[in-house]
């Protein structure tokens, strides 16, 4: 599989106070170099936000590898260090299983849908 172009790898949209990151299916098998570039895109979008609220919409990414998981960890650390929250929405059963095995299900809030995640982050 051809590595994704970083510009096509994800979309980032602001919904009020919440940043919604929607990875494309191409990120399922992203390599480390492209994961770093993609993480930079996400982290750059957080510039100037004191306590970022970020939802990663996994609806179109039913499975992913360790490089994408590392990308999530990198973003989560930066968001947490700034007093923000990273939440995941729309996880498939395979992703939920991976999160359970890695115990990230105990760290990252998980929601069935993006609207549910946005509402929960704004209410906190």
- What pLDDT is recorded for position 49? 83
In a domain, 117, yes or no: yes
Residue 20 pLDDT exceeds 70: yes
- What pLDDT is recorded for position 102? 94
From CA 69, how far away is CA 4, in angstroms rounded?
16
For 26-81, write each residue's pLDDT tens digit: 787 777 778 888 888 888 888 878 889 999 999 999 998 888 888 899 999 999 99
**Domain count of the fold of the chain:** 1
Nearest Cα to 2, choosing from 20, 25, 36? 25
Report the DSSP beta bridge partners of residue 18.
15, 53
In a domain, 71, yes or no: yes
Residue numbers of the domain that contains 58: 6-123
- What pLDDT is recorded for position 84? 94
Q: Residue 89 is part of a domain; what is its CATH number?
A: 3.30.750.24
In a domain, 1, yes or no: no
From CA 9, how far away is CA 115, in angstroms rounded?
22
In a domain, 82, yes or no: yes
């Amino acid at each position: 599989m051809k590595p994704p172009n970083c510009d096509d790898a994800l979309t980032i949209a602001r919904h009020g106070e919440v940043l919604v990151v929607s990875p494309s299916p191409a990120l399922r098998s992203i390599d480390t170099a492209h994961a770093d570039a993609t993480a930079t895109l996400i982290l750059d979008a957080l510039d100037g936000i004191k306590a970022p609220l970020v939802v990663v919409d996994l609806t179109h990414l039913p499975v992913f590898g360790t490089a994408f998981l590392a990308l999530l960890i990198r973003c989560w650390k930066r968001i947490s260090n700034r007093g923000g929250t990273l939440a995941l929405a729309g996880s498939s059963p395979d992703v939920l299983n991976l999160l359970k095995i890695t115990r990230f299900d105990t760290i990252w809030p998980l929601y069935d849908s993006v609207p549910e995640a946005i509402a929960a982050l704004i209410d906190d």
